[in-house]
């Protein structure tokens, strides 16, 4: 048994009855939708036509939201329906990043994830989903696709159908008859701050909003002005004949091409500064112990006081990492669910245990060092080196599970995070030399670590931006970093101040110059993490 949907675009009239029925059935809050109708206008005025596409959860056979969910709040039923359990959700928003179809949202009332669940409560008593019952044109067909006598099975066998984003490998179970790629593919049209009958520019709940002007420079105010809503404003344009007010449809179509004229509100940046900050704080915490291990392997004697100081700093940054992770949750009181109700395929769970192990062995190392238990301290350092490396890089694998964000699928991400840990750890060690006496040999090695890691960091970014990316979303993300919204902070703070300036100072044979480098390194790392976390989230998923 496997339930699915067929959306017959030959019949859909864009009446939004499915959206209203869904909201009524599930008491869906204003500003979010489980089912919505996206409208795209094609062509140039006056030769235009409008395409409607019903958007919702695709109830994927290989659902990435289920795999990334750390607490089994999302699960696949035996009948193929992807359902969710509010009582287990911690509001981490990882499922929203993993879904390529933008089907999930954070409920502003429960602060937990929600989506279309195929009206599972109705299915269990032999009823059809509410949207199917209410559709006046029978454009939404549901049923068991494994039942050869069902209407949906017959349609799938007779009609040519398409799905959204088949390249994601999720095996979606929502099929479109006469599906139009200009509507189904988000890369074909730009999002907007305002649509017909809808001026809502913000999501709800945890979301922040990074808005862009409508493609072609038309915003809501200019539309109102041109529609006659600001009659008292003197026109700067030459007087023309036939100056009757134009409709919004005409204004959009005069720009040419395909336009979204109605869509759900953009959810904005889901993982904000908290996630960028936690990536950086754990890089610092892990980097310190990686370098302590490196010194031990190289036979360099580090003073006991320096070990204790840097170890305490590492634990403080690790604690800050945990606080930032908890702060980012929409259900922060449930943070222990990650450890107590784990779903082991999720890298969020694996990362939580890496951080826990790292904290435990870091504490053991500090206690053993303080009490001069050299054998235990050495053993703890070796074990903790492994935990430190995994703490540094596990987020790269978590981001890779976020299949909705193509840029995060880059194979260089793990290298980025490991190199950033070395840079951050070395920077903290150099800063500690302000307070403690640090051996000149160790400072010399730290200088070489910084020099090599900065060079590798620049080469990794060069490879990232010069390699061929297979998707439009990845290319658009890179373009926004090097040419668009993030161009100035990337070039100034990441490249120049975060990497080029440190290289110049590191080329000078001076202790004073070396002591200045860490502050530029840490500044560059912060902006790097912020851009890498934030930029891919500006690319629309639906």
The CATH number that applies at residue 331 is 1.20.1630.10
In a domain, 233, yes or no: no
pLDDT digits (tens, 9 = 90+) for 296-334: 898 888 888 888 988 899 999 999 999 999 999 999 999
pLDDT tens-digit map of 504-540: 999 998 888 888 999 999 999 999 999 999 999 999 9
Whether pTM > 0.85 for this model: the answer is yes
Angle between helices 511-534 and 440-466 (to 10 degrees): 30
Provide the 8-state DSSP code for 494: I
50 against 90, higher pLDDT: 90
Instruction: Say whether pLDDT at 173 is over 80.
Output: yes
Do 283 and 416 lie in a common domain?
yes
Q: Which of 180, 198, 217 delimits the end of a domain?
A: 180
- Tell me if 162 is assigned to some domain: yes
Residue 172 near residue 237, CB atoms below 8 Å: no
Of 51-60, 224-233, 367-376, the range with the lowest mean pLDDT is 224-233
Residues 354 and 465 in one domain: yes
Cβ proximity of 5 and 149 under 8 Å: no
Helices (H), 298-373: 304-328, 337-340, 347-370
Q: Cβ distance 59 to 80 under 8 Å?
A: yes
The answer on 446 and 341 residing in a single domain is yes
Domain membership of residue 192 (yes or no) is no
Domains held by the chain: number: 2
Decide which of 180, 208, 225 is a domain's last residue.
180
Over the stretch 472-490, which tens digit does the pLDDT of each residue have?
999 999 999 999 999 999 9
Peptide bond into 46 cis (omega under 30): yes
- Do residues 55 and 32 lie in contact, with contact meaning Cβ atoms separated by under 8 Å? no
Same structural domain, 433 and 323: yes
Q: pLDDT tens digits for 430-472?
A: 888 777 766 677 888 899 999 999 999 999 999 999 888 889 9
**CA distances to 23, 32, 141, 146, 542 from 131, in Å:** 10, 16, 9, 21, 20
- pLDDT tens string 405-431: 999 999 999 999 999 999 999 999 888
| Domain end call among 180, 202, 227 | 180
**Does 392 share its domain with 532?**
yes
Judge contact between 286 and 81, C-beta under 8 A: no
pLDDT at 31: 83
> In this structure, are 146 and 280 located in the same domain?
no
Return the CATH number at 165. 3.30.70.20
Q: Which residue has the higher pLDDT, 376 or 220?
A: 376
Q: How confident is the model at residue 229 (pLDDT cuts 50, 70, 90)?
A: very low
Shared-domain flag, residues 165 and 309: no
Q: Do the domain assignments include residue 422?
A: yes
Residue 37: closest CA among 53, 23, 24, 22 = 53
Distance in angstroms between the alpha carbons of the first and the last residue of the chain? 28
How far is the C-alpha of 259 from the C-alpha of 215, rounded, in Å? Answer: 9
Closest CA relative to residue 471, chosen from 215, 175, 168, 40:
168
Does 469 reside within a domain?
yes
**Which residue range forms the structural domain that includes residue 412?**
273-538
- Judgement on whether residues 336 and 453 belong to the same structural domain of the protein: yes
Q: What is the DSSP letter of 8?
A: E
Task: Give the pLDDT score at 158.
Answer: 94
Q: Is the pLDDT of residue 232 over 50?
A: no
Percent of the chain clearing pLDDT 90 (strictly above): 72
Q: What is the pLDDT of residue 356?
A: 96
pLDDT band at residue 246 under the 50/70/90 scheme? very low
Question: Poorest-confidence range of 100-109, 223-232, 475-484?
Answer: 223-232
Q: Is residue 263 part of a domain?
A: no
Query: pLDDT category, 253, cuts 50, 70, 90?
Result: very low
Domain assignment present for 135: yes
User: DSSP 3-state assignment of 416?
Assistant: helix
Which of left, alpha, beta for 236 (phi over 0: left; psi -120 to 50: alpha)? alpha
pLDDT higher than threshold 60 for residue 210: no
Give the pLDDT band of residue 262 (cuts 50, 70, 90). Answer: confident
Does 422 lie in the same domain as 282?
A: yes
pLDDT of residue 442: 81
Instruction: Flag whether 376 is in a domain.
Output: yes
In this prediction, residue 303 carries a pLDDT of 83
Write down the number of H helices and E strands in the chain: 20, 11
What is the rounded CA–CA span in Å between residue 206 and residue 106? 8
């Amino acid at each position: 048994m496997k339930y699915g949907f067929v959306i017959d675009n030959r019949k859909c009239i864009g009446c939004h009855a499915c959206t209203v029925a869904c909201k009524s059935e599930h008491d869906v809050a204003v500003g979010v939708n489980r089912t919505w109708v996206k409208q795209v206008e094609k062509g140039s005025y006056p030769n235009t036509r409008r395409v409607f596409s019903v958007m919702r959860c695709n109830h994927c056979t290989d659902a990435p939201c289920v795999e990334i969910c750390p607490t089994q709040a999302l699960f696949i039923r035996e009948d193929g329906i992807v359902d969710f359990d509010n009582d287990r959700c911690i509001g981490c928003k990882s499922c929203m990043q993993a879904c390529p179809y933008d089907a999930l949202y954070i409920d502003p009332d429960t602060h937990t994830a929600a989506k279309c669940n195929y009206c599972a409560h109705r299915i269990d008593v032999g009823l059809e989903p509410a949207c199917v019952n209410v559709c006046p044109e029978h454009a939404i067909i549901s049923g068991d696709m494994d039942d050869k006598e069902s209407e949906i099975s017959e349609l799938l066998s007779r009609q040519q159908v398409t799905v959204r984003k088949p390249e994601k490998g999720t095996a979606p179970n929502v099929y479109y008859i006469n599906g139009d790629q200009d509507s189904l593919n988000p890369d074909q049209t730009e999002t907007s701050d305002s649509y017909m009958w809808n001026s809502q520019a913000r999501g709800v709940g945890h979301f922040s909003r990074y808005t862009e002007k409508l493609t072609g420079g038309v915003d809501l105010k200019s539309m109102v002005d041109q529609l006659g809503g600001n009659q008292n404003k003197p026109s700067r344009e030459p007087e023309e004949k036939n100056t009757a007010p134009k409709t919004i449809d005409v204004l959009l179509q005069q720009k040419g091409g395909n336009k979204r004229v109605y869509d759900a509100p953009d959810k904005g940046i889901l993982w904000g500064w908290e996630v960028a900050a936690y990536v950086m704080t754990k890089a610092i915490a892990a980097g310190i112990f990686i370098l302590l291990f490196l010194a031990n392997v190289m036979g360099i004697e580090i003073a006991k006081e320096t070990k204790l100081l840097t170890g305490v700093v590492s634990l403080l940054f690790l604690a800050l990492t945990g606080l930032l992770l908890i702060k980012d949750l929409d259900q922060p009181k449930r943070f222990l669910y990650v450890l107590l109700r784990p779903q082991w395929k999720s890298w969020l769970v694996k990362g939580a245990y890496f951080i826990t192990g790292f904290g435990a062995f870091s504490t053991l190392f500090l206690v053993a060092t303080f009490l001069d238990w050299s054998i235990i301290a050495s053993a703890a350092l070796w074990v903790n080196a492994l935990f430190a490396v995994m703490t540094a890089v596990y987020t790269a694998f978590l981001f890779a599970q976020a299949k909705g964000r193509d840029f995060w699928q880059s194979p260089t991400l793990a290298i980025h995070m490991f190199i950033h840990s070395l840079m951050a750890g070395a920077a903290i060690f150099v800063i500690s030399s302000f307070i403690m006496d640090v051996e000149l040999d160790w400072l010399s090695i730290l200088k070489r670590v910084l020099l090599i890691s900065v060079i590798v960091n620049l080469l990794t970014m060069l490879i990232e931006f010069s390699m061929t990316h297979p998707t439009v979303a990845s290319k658009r993300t890179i373009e926004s970093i090097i040419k668009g919204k993030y161009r100035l902070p990337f070039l100034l703070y990441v490249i120049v101040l975060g990497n080029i300036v440190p290289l110049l100072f590191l080329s000078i044979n001076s202790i004073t110059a070396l002591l200045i480098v860490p502050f530029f390194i840490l500044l560059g790392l912060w902006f790097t993490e912020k851009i890498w976390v934030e930029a891919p989230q500006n690319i629309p998923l639906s």
